[in-house]
Amino acid sequence: MTQLLEVEGLVKHYQSGGFLSRPKPPVRAVDGVSFTVAPGETLGLVGESGSGKSTIGRNILRLEVPTAGTVRFEGVDLATVSPGELRALRRRMQIIFQDPFGSLNPRRSIGASVAEGLEIHQMLPKREVASRVSELLAEVGLDPAYASRYPHEFSGGQRQRIGIARALAVEPRFVVCDEPVSALDVSVQAQVINLLLDLRDRRGLAYLFIAHDLAVVRQIAHRVAVMYLGTIVELGAASTVIEAPRHPYTQALVSAVPDPDPRSARSRIVLAGEPPSPSAPPPGCPFEPRCFHPLRDARCRTERPVLRRVAEQDVACHYAEVIAAPPLVPTS
């Protein structure tokens, strides 16, 4: 299958230290990440805060310039295109932001915000823009009469629907969903997830769905990539990664997913300490300082594991072949 998006060896480092201060080691926000997204596919990108998930999304869309690596969209290397060509490509690559209020201009009506992309890319005659905005608002479940209102007049869930309508206005093929439901109530989260699923199926959209909640990702993603300290430590089909994780970090994430059955005796893996500083990552496995598995040894401290195929998923662990996933609902 021809891939819609190809990311190879993506690196993003931030230089730290001021003009008068001594230079410090760079912050390794993303450190050699590779994956693909097929047309109509949803890839879930999960991990703790600070793992580099949102940075990947911004670098894919060229909202930031990568330090190294290649991003190809529809076969085009985004680093080689002119500003005009990149602007045209951005019609087909959009983003839904985490904060629905902060992403909307409080001085513009929501109709003007949704219409902005149509006007920038001159997709319709001016006389047809208002009608198209009404169609987009109706498509995301909002009354078209709301077009004249302002962001502060809406709830969080409604504002996120507005953000989705704005992203859809330019007819994209690929959408970065940057934690689009993390700021919403649980009941509203389900509504927005169902809307995204419906839009994906009807429009044939591909998503990079960024989240820290595996329970949310399980509902929408075809595949899941688990990030830790700027690297992908496990990648595979969502059902496989969540039901049979082979990396200790993924096992800890899965154990933290709430179980709706009050009779369940699921064991919870509590990680000790904090993630290492992205300015000074460990020389070996980035997860080694917090790893709880009894197979952890000197090799883990000195040799960095590479992402490789183990059974049905890709895992960056020296002992992935022999690490068994803990039972999700252990017997009491």
CA atoms within 13 A on the CB side of 278: 21
169 falls within a domain:
yes
Among the candidates 206, 221, 236, a domain finishes at: 221
The predicted-structure confidence for 270-309, as pLDDT tens digits, reads as follows 888 888 888 888 999 999 999 988 889 999 999 999 999 9
306 falls within a domain:
yes
Same domain for 193 and 263? no
The vertex-155 CA angle with 97 and 121, nearest 5°, equals 45
What is d(CA 279, CA 176) in angstroms, rounded to the nearest whole number?
26
Same domain for 156 and 296? no
The predicted-structure confidence for 246-279, as pLDDT tens digits, reads as follows 999 999 998 888 776 666 656 788 888 888 888 8
Question: With left for phi above 0 and alpha for psi between -120 and 50, is residue 32 left, alpha or beta?
Answer: left
236 falls within a domain:
no
Same domain for 22 and 160? yes
240 falls within a domain:
no
Same domain for 275 and 205? no
Instruction: pLDDT band for 323, please (50, 70, 90 cuts).
Output: confident
The predicted-structure confidence for 130-187, as pLDDT tens digits, reads as follows 999 999 999 999 999 999 999 999 999 999 999 999 999 999 999 999 999 988 888 8
Among the candidates 221, 254, 280, a domain finishes at: 221
Same domain for 192 and 317? no
What is d(CA 297, CA 104) in angstroms, rounded to the nearest whole number?
50
Among the candidates 221, 238, 272, a domain finishes at: 221
Task: Please report where in the chains the tokens 């200790």 appear, as a residue.
Answer: 248
Same domain for 210 and 291? no
Query: Is the model more confident about 203 or about 272?
Result: 203
Same domain for 65 and 210? yes
Domain that holds residue 310: 246-332
Same domain for 14 and 124? yes
Domain with residue 62: its CATH number is: 3.40.50.300
Same domain for 127 and 214? yes
- Per-residue CA distances from 92 to 181, 205, 279 (Å): 22, 10, 34
Same domain for 257 and 118? no
Kind of pairing, strands 42-46 and 223-228? parallel
Same domain for 161 and 288? no
Number of domains in the chain: 2
End-to-end CA distance of the chain: 45
Give the pTM. 0.91
Same domain for 176 and 270? no
